[in-house]
Structure 1
Amino acid sequence: MTNENTALNAPLSGGCCGSKASAPAQPATADDQAVCPVMAGTPVVKSVAEAQGLFRDYNGTRYWFCCASCGPLFDADPAKYATAAA
């Protein structure tokens, strides 16, 4: 099995985790919600995170982040965060 670790590099202002992804115009459905694997327990709206490039694909699974700072932390040790998110 190969490790895939890809990202969209969209510059965002602010740091982790004071700057959350902006709220969608309408409440997120259950299918559009996730939890940030880096900041455990922090909710994420998948569609907002995707629009802002706040996600990574690792071992065939997509992980969404609450802020721009979480991506580089995930990149440094994706197995750690993927295991914690499972």
Structure 2
Amino acid sequence: MGHHNHELPSDQEFNADEVAECPVMKGTQVIKADAEEEGLVRDYRGTRYYLCCDACAPMFDADPDRYAAA
């Protein structure tokens, strides 16, 4: 399992509320609807976090305070 290079499609425009930054891979933009469809979301202390790939999920799960505070 490795990190994927998830770049936003250049032929589509997204509103700011449709996109989030992965808390594990800082700087990686995530389309919220895609993350939800793939089960790559975590709710932690009242905030929803969107992850960019399967590799980020166990890292977030192992130490959510580290990534939530980032």
Shorter-chain TM-score bucket reads 0.7 to 0.9
2:60 aligned to which of 74, 82, 85:
74
C-alpha displacement at 1:19, in angstroms?
5.5
Root-mean-square deviation (Å): 2.0
Q: Superposed, which structure 2 residues align to 1:1-80 within 5 Å?
A: 15-18=1-4, 20=6, 26-80=12-66
C-alpha displacement at 1:18, in angstroms?
2.3
- What is the TM-score with the length of structure 2 in the denominator? 0.85
- What is the TM-score with the length of structure 1 in the denominator? 0.70
Q: Find the residue that maps to 2:33 and give its secondary structure.
A: helix
- Among all aligned residue pairs of Structure 1 and Structure 2, give the percentage whose two residues are the same amino acid: 51
List alignment gaps of at least 5 residues for structure 2.
Answer: none
Q: Find the residue that maps to 1:66 and give its secondary structure.
A: coil
Please give the per-residue CA displacement for 1:12-56, whole angstroms capped at 9, x wherever unaligned.
xxx331263885x94322111100000011110101110110110
CA contact (8 A) 1:42 1:66 kept: yes
List alignment gaps of at least 5 residues for structure 1.
Answer: 1-14
The one of the two structures with greater contact order (alpha-carbon pairs below 8 A, sep at least 6) is: 1
